[in-house]
């Protein structure tokens, strides 16, 4: 039977792609009808019978018998003389059903049919993958490192689906080898043409939130809620939590005895420092908690401008700012307020920008990134700490300190 070779491939597609029988039959019929349209101009008068389980396919062409001199549409009509070659007793007006073999379609049509079938199967497969992962957006997913490129890591899951983790979605301290399993969040799923593009992220705040849900039973059970998560991936994070039960200490429940509950999360994120904060509707108290471990003397809140001026004792300033300015940046993100730090009891101070004639602007900008924007905020720091907190050389730091000291001595 001429159809056998092509039919055998149907079973391969069915086994490889795990397509259900009814879907496969619909795809096959669609492909064959497209081929018949190209060959005969119309497919309405064709019956297609498919049994992919048995490897059986039949195509029947239905035509009406007409007088030899009245044949107008060769696809839908057959002349009386041609009909009687099939059955001698056919008469005008009767229906004739004739089987069409694949070989009758021509070699090119069969080749195009096979290519079309492959494309349709892959399109169906890609659509299912897209739907599956679209439903998993925002959920934790694990896949294996298949290939490491300069700008991204290519992962494969157990079903062979390709997942991409771009460089900017990796924690700076992450280091993976081929074959390693990686956990992350399915951040986005898009169709690029007909192929799904699945992006995995380990830097998303949602990843940290989902890790808390997995590791903290009270969060999973809904007894504790996560109000907000902010991160500087691989460096520091702040998580605001609240409890619906006054008997539950949300911070204590999340951290555990001696940090036992949060330790696994910290390790997963490359030793990212995680501050768990007790959420409150009291804005002043929430801002104060967000700046822990610094102790605030007083604050002035401008709700319209979304800014707050915080007064601290000089020795508390570096604690509020944190290494690299991370603490104050995250405090601003989690509260939604721009936080300005002032030293309590310090009357005289000078903005670093006032020294732009003596200190290069890029040096001032680098110090500002670390939360050091006044002369005294720099002078209160140890030179060695300043080198660690910024990308500035020791010689540059010493030169800045010398210029600032001369100003105050004068």
DSSP assignment of 178-227 equals TT-EEEEEEEEEEEETTEEEEEEESSSHHHHHHHHHHH-HHHHTTSEEEE
State the Cα angle at 79 between 77 and 80, rounded to 5°.
125
Token couple for 269:
């994120």
400: CB partners within 8 A, 6+ apart:
359, 363, 367, 378, 392
For the chain, how many residues are written? 410
Beta bridge partners of 3: none
Topology of 143-202 in CATH?
OB fold (Dihydrolipoamide Acetyltransferase, E2P) (2.40.50)
In this prediction, what percent of the chain has a pLDDT beyond 70? 89
Looking at domain 204-269, which of 3.10.129.10, 3.30.160.40, 3.10.50.40, 3.30.300.20 is its CATH number?
A: 3.30.300.20
Give residue 408's pLDDT. 67
Instruction: Band the pLDDT of 287: cuts 50, 70, 90.
Output: very high
Residues of the chain with CATH 3.30.1480: 4-131
Q: Which of 152, 151, 229 is nearest to 143 (CA)?
A: 152
Backbone angles phi, psi at 133, to 5 degrees: -75, -25
225, 219 Cβ separation under 8 angstroms = yes
Mean pLDDT for the chain? 85
Q: pLDDT tens digit string along 132-179?
A: 999 999 999 999 999 999 899 999 999 889 999 999 999 999 999 999
Looking at domain 352-409, which of 2.60.120, 1.20.1260, 1.10.287, 1.10.150 is its CATH number?
A: 1.10.150
**Considering only the top CATH level, what class is 280-346?**
alpha beta
Lowest mean pLDDT among 28-32, 228-232, 395-399: 28-32
Backbone angles phi, psi at 342, to 5 degrees: -130, 145
Pinpoint the alpha helices (H) of 256-393. Answer: 260-268, 283-290, 314-321, 326-335, 361-369, 375-379, 383-389
Pick left, alpha or beta for residue 41 (phi over 0 → left; psi -120 to 50 → alpha; otherwise beta). left
Q: What is the distance, to the nearest Å, from the Cα of residue 308 to the centroid of all Cα atoms in its chain? A: 34
201: CB partners within 8 A, 6+ apart:
165, 169, 184, 185, 187, 207
Beta bridge partners of 241: 226, 278
* Cis upstream peptide for 293 (omega within 30°): yes
């Amino acid at each position: 039977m001429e159809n056998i070779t092509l039919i055998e491939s149907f079973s391969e597609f069915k086994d490889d792609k795990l397509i259900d029988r009814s879907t496969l039959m619909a795809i096959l019929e669609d492909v064959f009808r497209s081929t018949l349209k190209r060959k005969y101009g119309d497919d309405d008068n064709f019956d297609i019978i498919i049994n992919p389980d048995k490897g059986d396919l039949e195509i029947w062409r239905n035509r009406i018998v007409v007088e030899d001199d009245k044949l107008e549409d060769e696809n839908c009509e057959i002349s009386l003389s041609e009909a009687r070659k099939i059955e001698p007793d056919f008469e005008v007006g009767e229906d004739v059903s004739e089987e069409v073999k694949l070989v009758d379609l021509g070699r090119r049509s069969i080749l195009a049919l096979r290519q079309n079938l492959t494309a349709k199967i892959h399109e169906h497969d890609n659509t299912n993958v897209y739907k599956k992962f679209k439903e998993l957006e925002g959920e934790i997913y694990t896949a294996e490192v298949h290939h490491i490129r300069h700008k991204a890591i290519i992962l494969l899951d157990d079903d062979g689906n390709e997942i991409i983790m771009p460089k900017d979605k990796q924690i700076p301290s992450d280091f993976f080898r081929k074959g390693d399993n990686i956990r992350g969040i399915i951040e986005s799923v898009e169709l690029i043409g007909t192929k799904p593009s699945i992006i995995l992220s380990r830097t998303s705040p949602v990843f940290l939130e989902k890790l808390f849900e997995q590791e903290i039973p009270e969060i999973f059970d809904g007894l504790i809620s996560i109000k907000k998560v902010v991160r500087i991936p691989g460096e520091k994070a702040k998580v605001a939590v609240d409890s619906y039960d006054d008997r539950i200490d949300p911070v204590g429940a999340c951290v555990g005895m001696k940090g036992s509950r949060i330790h696994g999360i910290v390790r997963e994120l490359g030793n990212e420092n995680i501050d768990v904060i007790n959420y409150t509707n009291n804005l002043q108290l929430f801002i104060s908690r967000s700046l822990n471990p610094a102790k605030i003397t007083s604050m002035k809140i401008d709700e319209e401008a979304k800014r707050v001026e915080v007064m601290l004792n000089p020795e508390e300033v570096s604690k509020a700012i944190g290494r690299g300015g991370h603490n104050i940046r995250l405090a601003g993100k989690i509260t939604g307020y721009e936080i300005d730090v002032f030293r309590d009891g310090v009357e005289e101070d000078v903005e670093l920008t006032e020294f732009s004639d003596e200190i290069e602007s890029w040096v001032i900008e680098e110090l500002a990134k670390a939360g050091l924007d006044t002369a005294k905020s720099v002078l209160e720091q140890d030179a060695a700490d300043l080198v660690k907190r910024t990308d500035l050389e020791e010689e540059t730091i010493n030169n800045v300190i010398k210029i600032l000291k001369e100003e105050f001595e004068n």
